[in-house]
Amino acid sequence: MKRHLLWLMAALAVLIVFPFIFGPLQTNLMVRFAIEALFAVSLNLLLSFTGLLSFGHALYFGVGAYGAALILTHLEGIPLVLAVLLSGLAAALVGLLLSPLLVRVRATAFTMLTLAFGQLLYVLCSKFREVTGGEDGIMGWTTPPLRLPGVFSLDVTQPLYIYFFALGLSGLGILAMWYFTKTPMGSVMISIRDNQKRVDYLGYQVVLTKAVIFCLSGFFAGLAGAIYAVFNNLVSVGGVLHIMVSFQPLMAILVGGIGTFFGPILGSGLLLMLEEATQAYPELAQMISGLIFIAVVLFLPGGAISFGARLRGWWQKRAYLRKAREIAA
Amino acid sequence: MKISKRLLLLGLIAAALVMASLGAHPALAAGAAAGFDPKAVSDMTGFDPTKYENPSGEVVKIGVLAPFSGDAASVGQLYWATSAWVAADINKRGGIMVDGKKKKIALIKGDTMGKPATTKQAVEKLCLQDKVDVLWGTSGSHLTAIIQAEAAKYNKLHLNSHSLSDNLMEGKSFTPYTFQYIWPTYSVGNTLAKYYASRKERKFYILDQDYVFGHELAESFKAGLKQYVPDAQIVGEDYHPLFNKDFAPYLTKVKASGAEVIFTGDWMPDSSNLIKQSRQMGINTPIAGIFLDDINALIAVGPEGSKGMVFASQMLINYQDGIQAKWHEAWKTWPAPYNTALYEWLGSTTGSYVESLYWLLDVMQRAGATAPDKVIKAWEGDEWLGLIGEKLTMRACDHRVVRDTYVTEFVSPNKWYQDCAYLDQLVTIPAEFVTLAPPKDSERCK
């Protein structure tokens, strides 16, 4: 426990000094990492902990992003944190509205239904130009400062402050989701993944639990979308509702490690690093990321987070074989 | 009146001082008729865009913002071939005289992927990491709006080479760092409407990309028709997503509408797919547009399929000597993807890219600096003669270009290509008919 705490303190110290050591470009990269990690963990709640594969998680991300953009554009003077939280709540509300349909289906039907809803919102927002700006999106609103009256007022359009804002909110969001997995309801969630029928027979409210999970997952995905909107000062259908936006956290989960809580965070970081590394070869970037994805699925099915354990296992096996050979000799 | 020797001497000294001070002004020092000099273009034999390498030492860095990957990667290739050409040419001449020394040109790619968020990241990287002097690009007004905002944020010059939206240089969008080289949608609408005033076609079907540029262009064309062709009819109007894969549903409606002309602002790859798919479906309705110069698409539909198309542009090169001859000669050795007919000659799009960069570098040289404030000062109100000797004036208050525009009907045979119809005779629409008035809400323009 003490060792974990030490690690956590060290990580926090690194994160705090990061923007002062690296330039604004790397700081912005960390903001993107914070957003994508939060988004991936929110999807992971459905995939790894409830056993539901969603192809339409961009729906919640998009609602959060558009929510923040519309609130900040039309409600002048609204506190920034309130705008972001309201956007997350809007996404949770969408989750609640869709839950009567989604809780009743599983497996392929669930995946297809989420895909359909995601695409439906994509098309609706593309066509509803008057509100969403269509393909052009919404941009150029004045972002209010992050303010605690009498204490501080920070301009979050500056890389340093958006960094702490995004990292703080994402960190709190991830912590809240981690805590949720440790609660009794979190245990029911995992049981649903393992055997939904048995959980039902035991008298637990499967439908209600699933609805809560949808809302929770939607809320945090929406929160990630809202931070994205504040960070980019721009929201467009292609950027927040495209089908690839749904696949992005899915890739992070698979690359990082499905079935684990922290795997998606690692996966988000790795994918971002890969994206940065291949920026100089834009023609090859997608091909390289595709090849890496295939390699991970084939040779490291537990994801990057399992790499250490795999390496340890390989090393132990090697040592055992060497010893066996020595005994035989 | 008797003039004493002393007075004469004083007069001469005063005149000399005036001349000297005028000479110190960069624009006047270079002579009144600044412009593209075809004779100054280097011997470009052996130039190959795929092998272009940036020079070492102190350089002027240009950030080339284009979709180098994704659905519109072919557009990125156009940007690269043309910017590499201009950079290689200027570098062969020894560079440009700025900041007290001769500096060569370096190009750094910024891949927009045709997406807003990626565009923002690309601009940030160019400004913060690569520390470019100028941002050049891009296609897509919604993306250009982002570049403009970021350029102003990081105090970088931005030359908008190919986004036409009228809104870009108006109201809150205007920033002194951006110059809109390309003609605005207002000019396109009025150019084509004025052209059709003297023709028999009266039924138009508008088919545009579903974003700010497509909608604005449609409105401009409708307003132009109202003014110049009041009896014209819009028999249909549709907007498709950017980088659309299937035009069949739209083309079926076009066929049913009885349209005599399909009006479109589509750019590659949409324009190319629209041309090919319409002819494959047996719809030979003439297409009128501004990005119809994808020669590969024209060749795919042959002389019959491409004949009668009406092509409007801010700049059409109708000669084969000078820079065209040098480009054509160099092209003969280019490997893929530049070995196709699309690159055989400088077309309207490629020619415009080249022209915009030559102008930018000429202005920088005359400003004698790379600092944005000095370049802005030199460019505002600048008069320059372009690739076809046309007069371009950079309007000082809103950074838009005042220029004549051109329309042509593709014919076959022509002097350019055997396998497709292409331009022959140009119709010039004078600037007075197509120039967008300065924005009324701008303090700078009052």
| H or E element that contains A40 | helix A24-50
Number of domains in chain B: 2
Interfacial B residues in 53-72 facing A (CB < 8 Å): 68-69
Q: Does A302 touch chain B (CB under 8 A)?
A: no
Q: Does A222 touch chain B (CB under 8 A)?
A: no
Measured between alpha carbons, how far apart are the two ends of chain A, in Å?
Answer: 44
**Cis upstream peptide for B269 (omega within 30°):** yes
Residues B126 and B232 in one domain: no
Taking alpha carbons only, the member of A124, A123, A131, A137 closest to residue A233 is A137
Distance CA A117, CA A246 (A): 12
Ranges of residues in chain B whose predicted pLDDT is under 50: 1, 20-31
| H or E element that contains A291 | helix A282-299
pLDDT digits (tens, 9 = 90+) for A98-108: 999 988 888 89
Taking alpha carbons only, the member of A28, A14, A17, A45 closest to residue A213 is A45
Q: How far is A253 from chain B (nearest CA, A)?
A: 22
Which residue of A234, A238, A283 is in closest CB contact with B68? A283
In the prediction, which pLDDT does B14 show?
A: 61
Distance CA B306, CA B206 (A): 19
Query: With an 8 Å Cβ cutoff, are A283 and B115 in contact?
Result: no
Q: Does B145 touch chain A (CB under 8 A)?
A: yes
The DSSP 8-state label assigned to residue B308 in this structure reads T
- Write the DSSP assignment of B213-263 as a string of letters: HHHHHHHHHHHHHHHH-TT-EEEEEEEE-TT-S--HHHHHHHHHHT-SEEE
Q: Does B120 touch chain A (CB under 8 A)?
A: yes
Report yes or no on B302 lying in a domain. yes
Residues B288 and B419 in one domain: yes
**Cis upstream peptide for B138 (omega within 30°):** yes
Residues B376 and B309 in one domain: no
Rg (CA), chain B: 23
Taking alpha carbons only, the member of A193, A309, A307, A291 closest to residue A256 is A307
Residues B60 and B117 in one domain: yes
Residues B83 and B99 in one domain: yes
Distance CA B148, CA A112 (A): 40
Q: How far is A327 from chain B (nearest CA, A)?
A: 58
Q: Which of A30, A129, A135 to mutate to test the interface with B (most CBs of B within 10 A)?
A: A135
pLDDT digits (tens, 9 = 90+) for A50-106: 999 999 999 999 999 999 999 999 998 899 999 999 999 999 999 999 999 988 888
Tally of helices (H runs) and strands (E runs) in chain A: 14, 4
Chain B residues with CB under 8 Å of A28 CB are 121, 124
Q: Which of A29, A234, A242 to mutate to test the interface with B (most CBs of B within 10 A)?
A: A234
By the 8 A CB rule, do B207 and B238 touch? yes
Query: With an 8 Å Cβ cutoff, are A25 and B124 in contact?
Result: yes
Query: With an 8 Å Cβ cutoff, are A137 and B111 in contact?
Result: no
Residue B6, CA distances (Å) to A167, B3, B9, B16, B398 in order: 78, 8, 5, 15, 48
B436-B440-B443 Cα angle (round to 5): 120
Q: Residue B171 in 3-state DSSP?
A: helix
| H or E element that contains B428 | strand B426-429
Chain A residues with CB under 8 Å of B109 CB are 282
Q: How far is A70 from chain B (nearest CA, A)?
A: 18
Query: With an 8 Å Cβ cutoff, are B115 and A129 in contact?
Result: no
Beta carbons within 10 angstroms of residue B83's beta carbon: 25
Query: With an 8 Å Cβ cutoff, are B149 and A140 in contact?
Result: yes
Torsion over CA of A210, A213, A219 and A225, rounded to 10 degrees?
Answer: -90
By the 8 A CB rule, do B132 and B65 touch? no
B/e letters for A269-304, b = 16+ CB within 10 Å, e = fewer, are: bbbbebbeebbeebeebeeebeebeeebeeeeebbb
Chain B residues with CB under 8 Å of A282 CB are 68-69, 76, 109, 111, 113
Residues B223 and B265 in one domain: yes
Q: Does A145 touch chain B (CB under 8 A)?
A: no
Mean pLDDT of A216-231: 96
Chain CA centroid to CA B177, Å: 18
Chain A residues with CB under 8 Å of B121 CB are 28, 32
Q: Say which residue, A166 or A286, is predicted with more confidence.
A: A166
Strands (E) across B138-241 are located at 157-160, 178-180, 203-209, 233-240
Query: With an 8 Å Cβ cutoff, are B215 and A129 in contact?
Result: yes
In the prediction, which pLDDT does B10 show?
A: 65
Instruction: Please state the three-class secondary structure of B81-111 as a single string.
Output: HHHHHHHHHHHHCCCEEECCEEEEEEEEEEE
Q: Does A283 touch chain B (CB under 8 A)?
A: yes
Distance CA A162, CA A91 (A): 22
Chain A residues with CB under 8 Å of B69 CB are 282-283, 285-286
Distance CA B263, CA A29 (A): 43
The DSSP 8-state label assigned to residue B126 in this structure reads I
Taking alpha carbons only, the member of B360, B392, B435, B414 closest to residue B60 is B360
pLDDT digits (tens, 9 = 90+) for B39-79: 999 999 999 999 999 999 999 999 999 999 888 888 999 99
Report yes or no on B225 lying in a domain. yes
Chain A residues with CB under 8 Å of B242 CB are 135
Residues B234 and B245 in one domain: yes
Tokens standing for B275? 């041309």
Q: Does A69 touch chain B (CB under 8 A)?
A: no
Chain CA centroid to CA A96, Å: 19
State yes or no: pLDDT of A274 exceeds 80. Answer: yes
Query: With an 8 Å Cβ cutoff, are A134 and B73 in contact?
Result: no
Q: How far is B368 from chain A (nearest CA, A)?
A: 30
pLDDT digits (tens, 9 = 90+) for A183-216: 999 999 999 999 888 999 999 988 899 999 999 9
* Residue A105 identity (one-letter amino acid): V
Distance CA A209, CA A190 (A): 11
By the 8 A CB rule, do B161 and B137 touch? yes
Which residue of A136, A234, A279 is in closest CB contact with B120? A234
Sign, CA torsion B135/B139/B141/B146: negative
Q: Does B172 touch chain A (CB under 8 A)?
A: yes
Banded model confidence at residue A136, pLDDT cuts 50, 70, 90? confident
By the 8 A CB rule, do A271 and A147 touch? no
Q: Does A236 touch chain B (CB under 8 A)?
A: yes
* Residue B153 identity (one-letter amino acid): K
Tokens standing for B48? 């190959």
The whole domain housing B245 covers: 186-313+406-434
In the prediction, which pLDDT does B24 show?
A: 42
Query: With an 8 Å Cβ cutoff, are A236 and B142 in contact?
Result: yes
Taking alpha carbons only, the member of B350, B347, B312, B113 closest to residue B217 is B312
Listed by start position, the domains of chain A span 14-242
- Write the DSSP assignment of B367-396 as a string of letters: HT---HHHHHHHHTT-EEE-TTS-EEEE-T
Residues B216 and B175 in one domain: no
In the prediction, which pLDDT does A107 show?
A: 86
Q: Does A137 touch chain B (CB under 8 A)?
A: yes
Distance CA A85, CA A4 (A): 30
Q: Does B129 touch chain A (CB under 8 A)?
A: yes
Q: Residue A62 in 3-state DSSP?
A: helix
Residues B151 and B295 in one domain: no
Residue A246, CA distances (Å) to A80, A87, A106, A271 in order: 26, 18, 18, 15
Chain B residues with CB under 8 Å of A126 CB are 210, 241
Distance CA A36, CA A16 (A): 19
Query: With an 8 Å Cβ cutoff, are A139 and B146 in contact?
Result: yes
State yes or no: pLDDT of A296 exceeds 60. Answer: yes
Query: With an 8 Å Cβ cutoff, are B128 and A24 in contact?
Result: yes
Q: Does A119 touch chain B (CB under 8 A)?
A: no
Counting Cα atoms < 13 Å in the Cβ hemisphere of B259 gives: 27
pLDDT digits (tens, 9 = 90+) for A8-22: 899 999 999 999 999
Residues B280 and B417 in one domain: yes
Say which CATH number the domain at B295 has.
3.40.50.2300
Report yes or no on B336 lying in a domain. no
Taking alpha carbons only, the member of A216, A197, A218, A217 closest to residue A206 is A197
Q: Does A158 touch chain B (CB under 8 A)?
A: no
Specify the range with the lowest mean pLDDT, choosing from A126-140, A151-165, B144-158, B350-364: A126-140
Distance CA A38, CA A172 (A): 10
In the prediction, which pLDDT does B25 show?
A: 39
Q: How far is B305 from chain A (nearest CA, A)?
A: 31
Report yes or no on B260 lying in a domain. yes
The DSSP 8-state label assigned to residue B168 in this structure reads G
Q: Does B243 touch chain A (CB under 8 A)?
A: no
In the prediction, which pLDDT does B29 show?
A: 44
Prediction ipTM score: 0.76
pLDDT digits (tens, 9 = 90+) for B172-215: 889 999 999 999 999 999 999 999 999 999 999 999 999 888 99
- Do β-strands B101-111 and B59-66 pair in parallel, antiparallel, or remain unpaired? parallel
Residues B177 and B213 in one domain: no
By the 8 A CB rule, do A221 and A229 touch? no
Query: With an 8 Å Cβ cutoff, are A25 and B116 in contact?
Result: no
Residues B62 and B120 in one domain: yes
Strongest mean pLDDT among A237-241, A290-294, B248-252: B248-252
Query: With an 8 Å Cβ cutoff, are B117 and A139 in contact?
Result: no
A with B: how many residue pairs have Cβ under 8 Å apart? Answer: 68
Backbone φ and ψ for A15, nearest 5 degrees, come out as -65, -35
Distance CA A226, CA B348 (A): 42
Interfacial B residues in 384-423 facing A (CB < 8 Å): none
Q: Does B154 touch chain A (CB under 8 A)?
A: no
Query: With an 8 Å Cβ cutoff, are A126 and B241 in contact?
Result: yes
Query: With an 8 Å Cβ cutoff, are A25 and B128 in contact?
Result: yes
Chain A residues with CB under 8 Å of B211 CB are 134-136
By the 8 A CB rule, do B411 and B424 touch? yes
